[in-house]
Amino acid sequence: MKFDTPATSNPIDQLKVVGKPVDRVDGPLKVTGTASYANDRHDVAANQAHGYIVGSAIPKGRIVSMDVTAARAAPGVLAVVTADNAGSLGKGTFNTARLLGGPAIEHYHQAIAVIVAETFEQARAAAHLLKVQYERAPGEYDLEARKEGAKLAESNGAAGESAVGDFAGNFASAPVQVDATYTTAHESHSMIEPFASVAAWNGDQLTVWTSNQMIAWTAGDIATTLGIPKEKVRVSSPFIGGGFGAKLWLRADALLAALGARAARRPVRVAMPRALIPNNTVHRSATLQRIRIGATRDGKITAIGHESLSGNLPEGGPEAAAIQTRSLYAGPHRMTANRNAVLDLPEANAMRAPNEAPGLAALEIAIDEMAEKLGMDPVAFRIANDTQFVPDNPAKPASNDPQSKAGEEKHNPNPPFSQRQLVECLRLGARRFGWDKRSAQPGRVREGRWLVGMGVAAAIRDNLVMNSGARVRLDQRGTVTVETDMTDIGTGSYTVIAQTAAEMMGVRLERVVVRLGDSTYPVSCGSGGQWGGNSATAGVYAACLKLREAVARKAGLNAADAVFANGHVRAGSRSVPLGEVAGPEGLVAEDTIEFGDLNKKMQQATFGAHFVEVAVDAATGETRVRRMLAVCAAGRILNPKTARSQVIGGMTMGVGAALMEELAVDTRLGLFVNHDLAGYEVPVHADIPHQDVIFLDETDPTSSPMKAKGVGELGICGTAAAVANAVYNATGVRVRDYPITLDKLLKGLPAV
């Protein structure tokens, strides 16, 4: 179905199942260890061999020679696949770096071989027998050093910039000014489940069981890379232990499993060791961000400018951290720029709310700094600069990121927001959090050795929509089975899809079976950019509408009058059990929701306000987050329990970005040094004592028939700045370089 006019009332509005905080339908499988993750799939193909990936020991240059003789002769070895014998490989649409390097090397730990053996240990042992001679070429690894005159990546283009009015003139003449530079660190996704794949060939037909967020993209990229028809590739990924953006694309594990299986003539499993992941796969680029804000003395923004520099391989896109500054606050004179310097580090790409997460981490400190200069409360300052129209909507897409939409026709430079309850989020949050107890003067609240402070930040994250298909089947027992290639990356897709089908067909949740993550199912929106929940359920809605018509027709009822409830379809005085209508052959329907241009006529975005209280040890600078509150306005909440889990997960990631997460670059060797979970720190339960989430009542009929929006990434947007602002309020030390580690606080702390 086409979705190009706002939704009117529909069966979802009954909210008998949708909107209820039901438990995850896949929960029992998860807690009993029976959900089949990629590396657990011993069952899918007999006689599996093991592949071990060898990563390049240099970041840039060439392989001069590679001697595989000893490795090939090692016990149990079945094949050694390198660029020399892999055959010609194309390059998929979504990867910036080649997944099998050689002779040219583009980044450290780029795969240069996969060793296939009877056991994992044999493959690993043989990997150490590979003799490789490299010739190193000079490379660029330091983003800070690229600040001036950096060679910009090809993808940067004019699309990364926007301008409204006369920013420079009005900033210069503004009575109150903030001009500061902020940095965010290179970050690693660090999802719990590493990359893993099992690949098996049956003649020219390839099946890959893997862990991936976007089934159709990945099946397509496997086909492109191997030079085989897409129909010959099946991808299956029913359970995913977190993706965080790293699994949006085909990565080396899946490709090398396929190549290894072809060479060894056996099914091959490749599980990537944790220590290979940060340099072999993908990360979020560090950013350098300069923000300038000019305001009147009574607190109105007159000029706002945000320039961001990130780094990537030559064909990679920017971390467009200035993007939200086009739409979060009012102000007549504006500029943004998202620049991208060429770096020879591993590929940078989407991670945990790309763009807005690091962008708001900077912008929302700058806003705090301006409020302080004005002597205004930071909540009141944000409210005073609210806007119900997008002040800066450039005609071009912001980047070549596949997530951003190209080709905007009928461009409106100032579209209204379809819904914008940022002010309501801020007001309610301030009340619930006890914001009135915050000291406007920093460094004034002391509890023994602890300096205590509160911080606030606004959150905005776009609501993207993506076409999404599904197939629904009704059987003789009255069971509804949904099939779509949508994935569940731990987000709750199984559950909200089951709720949608149950609501639409008038059956209990237990009567719905959901099958996900297989390329033999209809192509969905996949999981990314927080579009999954709304778009995938909208696709299921569309398919269920068709199934309802088929049921009514077969039952001899008028589809327009038919009511689906309690496992029956009824019209007038006739009521028939659904299973009886389906009969022994069952009934099947399939459809795809196709989104029109409603999201161009209005800016669909989600909003939130984050409140954080921290305590900083006055002697050591150790920061403890004490409590967090997020108030979110994100359309209809399909399941308050899974949505809450999404948001608190995002808030936790925000604490990571604020206080811990940093891939440290060795700028001589050109690699991320702390490439494991011992050296790369993420928050654990003990770091997060108390989190609350409040969802405002909201339905957005312009976003889909579900009237829902994305919510998963909203939780990380702004959170880091709320932590940073709380640390400042506690200590009076303004740290503008993330993560806020204790060394950055110590020199400013009071004598104990």
Burial 72-100 (b: 16+ CB within 10 A, else e): eebebbbbbbbbeebeebeebebbbbbbb
Residue 352 binds to ligand MOS (criterion: CB under 6 A):
yes
Q: Which is nearer to ligand MOS, 655 or 730 (CB)?
A: 655
> Among 243, 299, 316, 378, which residue interacts with ligand MOS (rule: CB under 6 A)?
243
Q: Which of 115, 117, 350, 609 binds ligand MOS (CB under 6 A)?
A: 350
Binding residue for ligand MOS (CB under 6 A) from 528, 635, 705, 715?
Answer: 528
Residue type, 706: M
- 251 makes contact with ligand MOS (CB under 6 A): no
**Closer Cβ to ligand MOS, 252 or 716, answer by number:** 716
In angstroms, what is the minimal distance from the CB of 514 to ligand MOS?
20
Q: Identify the residue among 51, 59, 220, 245 touching ligand MOS (CB under 6 A).
A: 245
- Residues in the interface with ligand MOS (CB under 6 A) total 10
Task: Please tell me the distance from the alpha carbon of residue 614 to that of residue 96, in angstroms, as a whole number.
Answer: 39
State the nearest-atom distance from the C-beta of 213 to ligand MOS, in Å.
6
Please choose, out of 160-168, 349-357, 377-385, 407-415, the segment that lies near ligand MOS by the rule CB under 6 A: 349-357
Please return the burial class of 658, using the count of CB atoms within 10 Å of its CB with bins 0-12, 13-18 and 19+.
buried
Residue 323, both tokens: 């993007």
* From 351-359, 512-520, 649-657, 730-738, span contacting ligand MOS (CB under 6 A): 351-359
State both tokens at 310. Answer: 């990130």
Helix ranges, 84-129 (H): 120-127
| Run of H or E residues at 539 | helix 532-555
552 close to 564: Cβ distance less than 8 angstroms: no
**Rounded to an integer, what distance in angstroms lies between the CA atom of residue 737 and that of residue 728?**
13
- Long-range CB contacts for residues 177-180, cutoff 8 Å, separation at least 24: 177/292, 177/293, 177/294, 177/295, 178/291, 178/292, 178/293, 178/366, 178/369, 178/370, 178/373, 179/290, 179/291, 179/292, 180/290, 180/291, 180/365, 180/366, 180/369, 180/736
HEC string of 497-537? HHHHHHHHHCCCHHHEEEEECECCCCCCCCCCCCCHHHHHH
**Candidate ranges 198-206, 243-251, 683-691, 731-739; the one touching ligand MOS (CB under 6 A):** 243-251
Least distance to ligand MOS from the beta carbon of 350, Å? 4
Q: Is 351 in the site for ligand MOS (CB under 6 A)?
A: yes
* Beta strands 176-184; 104-105: pairing state: unpaired
In angstroms, what is the minimal distance from the CB of 356 to ligand MOS? Answer: 10
> Interface with ligand MOS by CB under 6 A: which range of 229-237, 316-324, 347-355, 363-371?
347-355
How many angstroms from the chain centroid is the CA of residue 244? 5
Minimum gap (Å) between residue 419 Cβ and ligand MOS: 22
Q: How far is CA 275 from the centre of its chain?
A: 22
Which of these ranges, 109-117, 240-248, 391-399, 669-677, lies near ligand MOS under the rule CB under 6 A? 240-248
Q: Which is nearer to ligand MOS, 146 or 251 (CB)?
A: 251
d(CA 106, CA 112): 11
Cβ nearer to ligand MOS, comparing 217 with 738:
217
| Cα–Cα separations (whole angstroms), residue 482 to 10, 12, 233, 384 | 20, 17, 22, 47
- Of 87-95, 350-358, 553-561, 627-635, the window that binds ligand MOS (rule: CB under 6 A) is 350-358
Q: Hey, which residues are catalytic here?
A: 713
**182 to 221: interface string for ligand MOS, x by CB under 6 A:** -------------------------------x--------
Secondary structure of 284-296 in HEC code, one letter for each residue: ECCEEEEEEEEEC
Nearer to ligand MOS (CB atom), residue 126 or residue 398: 398
Q: How far is the CB of 562 from ligand MOS (least distance, A)?
A: 39
Check residue 96 and report its DSSP letter: S
- Is there binding between residue 248 and ligand MOS (CB under 6 A)? yes
> How far is 640 from 653, CA to CA, in rounded Å?
20
- Cβ 214 to ligand MOS, closest distance in Å? 9
**Is 529 a binder of ligand MOS (CB under 6 A)?**
yes
CB 279 within 8 A of CB 252: no
With contact defined as beta carbons under 8 Å apart, do 644 and 630 qualify?
no
Beta carbon nearer to ligand MOS, 62 or 405: 405
If the CB atoms of residues 189 and 511 are measured against ligand MOS, the closer one turns out to be: 189
Q: Does residue number 533 form part of the binding site for ligand MOS (CB under 6 A)?
A: no
The answer to whether 526 contacts ligand MOS (rule: CB under 6 A) is: no
The three-point CA angle 543-545-548 to 5° equals 110
Binding test (CB under 6 A) with ligand MOS, winner from 92, 354, 490, 656? 354
Nearest CA among 571, 704, 685, 710 for reference residue 634: 710
Terminal C-alpha separation, the chain: 67
Could you tell me which stretch among 241-249, 412-420, 469-477, 738-746 binds ligand MOS (CB under 6 A)?
Answer: 241-249
Q: How far is the CB of 548 from ligand MOS (least distance, A)?
A: 32
Question: Is the Cβ of residue 243 or residue 492 nearer to ligand MOS in the bound state?
Answer: 243
| Choice between 359 and 529, CB closer to ligand MOS | 529
Q: Using the Cα atoms of residue 411, residue 524, residue 320 and residue 625 in order, give the sign of their dihedral.
A: positive
- Concatenated DSSP letters for 644-662? HHHHHHHHHHHHHHHHT--
Nearest residue (CB) to ligand MOS, 282 versus 523: 282
User: From the CB of 360, what's the least distance to ligand MOS, in Å?
Assistant: 15
Rounded to whole angstroms, the Cα distance separating 259 from 252 reads 10
492 binds ligand MOS (CB under 6 A): no
Q: Give the nearer residue to ligand MOS in terms of CB position, either 351 or 615.
A: 351
Say how many C-beta atoms besides its own lie within 10 A of residue 15's C-beta: 13
Minimum distance from CB of 357 to ligand MOS (Å)? 9
In angstroms, give the least distance from the CB of 403 to ligand MOS: 6
Q: Binding to ligand MOS by residue 160, rule CB under 6 A?
A: no
The 721-750 site mask, x for binding ligand MOS (CB under 6 A), equals ------------------------------
Tell me the angle at which helices 493-505 and 532-555 cross, rounded to the nearest 10 degrees: 30
Specify the DSSP class assigned to residue 233.
E
CB of 267 to ligand MOS, least distance (A): 28
Q: Which residue sits closest to ligand MOS, CB atoms considered?
A: 245
Single out the segment in contact with ligand MOS by CB under 6 A; choices: 134-142, 242-250, 318-326, 422-430. Answer: 242-250
Length of the chain (residues): 752
Stretch that binds ligand MOS, among 85-93, 150-158, 346-354, 431-439 (CB under 6 A): 346-354
Nearest residue (CB) to ligand MOS, 354 versus 649: 354
What is the CA 744 to chain-centroid distance, rounded?
Answer: 29
Interacting residues with ligand MOS (CB under 6 A): 213, 243, 245, 248, 350-352, 354, 528-529
